[in-house]
Amino acid sequence: MDIIRISENTDNGNKYIEMLLSVYSFKEDNSYITYCPSLDLSSYGTTESHARKSFRDVLEMTIEHMIDNNTLAKDFERHGWKTREMDSPRFNPSNYCSDTRESGT
């Protein structure tokens, strides 16, 4: 599991979004692929480090797009995340992947 903190301004004044995600990296042919099953996002690079940085960029752009379009909750729920009732909206990621291996860093 990776803890990913993304700095974004949100409607409720939060300065960041913190996510605990399963992110897997693997080599395929001459590229490294980084994949997050709970958001169905992936990226690639010539090295594992490059693939992981590229993934972070894709994730940040995705979250930014969701916030800008006010679809964050709807998009998370569409990916199978469940909302927990608390002071502020919180989501539990879906269990699309039963593999419990932790990603390499």
Dump pLDDT digits (tens) for 1-19: 565 666 555 556 656 677 7
**Confidence (pLDDT) at 22:** 86
Instruction: Output DSSP code: residue 84.
Output: E
The dihedrals phi and psi of 32, each to the nearest 5 degrees, come to -105, 135
Residue that the structure tokens 């599991």 belong to: 1
**Confidence (pLDDT) at 51:** 95
Question: Over 70: is that where the pLDDT of 86 sits?
Answer: no
How large is the average pLDDT for residues 44-55? 95
Of 34-38, 48-52, 97-101, the poorest mean pLDDT is in 97-101
Q: Which residue has the higher pLDDT, 37 or 96?
A: 37
How large is the average pLDDT for residues 51-78? 90
**Confidence (pLDDT) at 4:** 66
Q: How far apart are CA 18 and CA 75, in angstroms?
A: 16
**pLDDT band for position 101 (cuts 50, 70, 90):** very low
> What pTM value is reported for the model?
0.69
